Structure 1
Amino acid sequence: MNDTKITYGLKKLAYSKITMGEGGKITYAKPVLMPGARAIALSPKGEDKDVYADDVSYVTLTANQGYEGNVTVLGIPEAFLTDILGMTKDTNGTIVENADDVKAKFALLGEFSSETALKKRFVLYYCTAGRADFAGNTKEESPEETEYSIPLTISPAPDTGDVKATVVGGVGENEAFDGWYDAVYLKQKAGA
Structure 2
Amino acid sequence: MPNKKNKVKFNICNVHYALITVDEDGEVTFGTPVAMPGAVSLSLEPNGEPSNFYADGYAYYTISNNMGYEGDLELAMVPESFRTDVLKESLDTNQVLVENANVETANFALLFEFDGDIKKIRHVLYNCSAARPNIESTTNEEEIEVQTETLSITAAPLANGYVKARTGDSTTDTVYTGWYSSVYMPETAEPVDPETQQAAPAKAALSVPTGTAGKTEAVFSSKTKA
TM normalised by structure 1 equals 0.92
Q: Is the 8 A contact 2:113 2:123 kept in 1?
A: yes
Unaligned runs of 5+ in 2: 190-201, 204-226
Q: More deviation in 133-142 or 59-68?
A: 133-142
Aligned to 1:45: 47
User: C-alpha displacement at 1:136, in angstroms?
Assistant: 2.0
Aligned to 1:123: 124
Aligned to 2:71: 69
User: C-alpha displacement at 1:106, in angstroms?
Assistant: 0.2
Q: More deviation in 44-53 or 10-19?
A: 44-53
User: C-alpha displacement at 1:172, in angstroms?
Assistant: 9.1
Q: Is the 8 A contact 2:4 2:118 kept in 1?
A: no
Give the count of matched residue pairs: 189
Q: More deviation in 51-60 or 99-108?
A: 51-60
Q: Is the 8 A contact 1:168 1:177 kept in 2?
A: no
Return the letter of the residue paired with 2:69: Y
- Assess, with a 3 A threshold, how the Cα gap between structure 1 residues 123 and 83 changes in structure 2: closer, same or farther: same
Q: Is the 8 A contact 1:125 1:163 kept in 2?
A: yes
Aligned to 1:139: 140
- Assess, with a 3 A threshold, how the Cα gap between structure 1 residues 62 and 173 changes in structure 2: closer, same or farther: closer
- Assess, with a 3 A threshold, how the Cα gap between structure 1 residues 134 and 48 changes in structure 2: closer, same or farther: same
User: C-alpha displacement at 1:173, in angstroms?
Assistant: 5.7
User: C-alpha displacement at 1:113, in angstroms?
Assistant: 0.8
Unaligned runs of 5+ in 1: none
SS for the counterpart of 2:167 is: strand
**Cα-to-partner distance string for 1:148-190 (whole Å, 9 max, x where unaligned):** 11111110012x2110100046x99622211100000011111
TM normalised by structure 2 equals 0.79
Q: Quote the RMSD (CA, aligned, Å).
A: 1.8
Q: Is the 8 A contact 2:46 2:68 kept in 1?
A: yes
User: C-alpha displacement at 1:108, in angstroms?
Assistant: 0.3
- Assess, with a 3 A threshold, how the Cα gap between structure 1 residues 112 and 155 changes in structure 2: closer, same or farther: same
CA distance in 2, matches of 1:102, 1:172: 37
Q: Is the 8 A contact 2:40 2:74 kept in 1?
A: yes
Aligned to 2:223: none
**Cα-to-partner distance string for 1:121-152 (whole Å, 9 max, x where unaligned):** 00000001000111223223221111111111
**Cα-to-partner distance string for 1:66-101 (whole Å, 9 max, x where unaligned):** 111110000111110010001110010100112112
Aligned to 1:28: 30
Q: How does 1:1-192 map to 2 (within 5 A)?
A: 1=3, 3-114=5-116, 116-158=117-159, 160-168=160-168, 174-190=173-189, 191-192=202-203
SS for the counterpart of 2:187 is: coil
- Assess, with a 3 A threshold, how the Cα gap between structure 1 residues 173 and 64 changes in structure 2: closer, same or farther: closer
CA distance in 2, matches of 1:189, 1:59: 28
CA distance in 2, matches of 1:176, 1:55: 49
CA distance in 1, matches of 2:49, 2:4: 29
- Assess, with a 3 A threshold, how the Cα gap between structure 1 residues 41 and 189 changes in structure 2: closer, same or farther: same
Q: Is the 8 A contact 1:72 1:150 kept in 2?
A: yes
**Cα-to-partner distance string for 1:14-54 (whole Å, 9 max, x where unaligned):** 00011112311110000000000001111111110122334
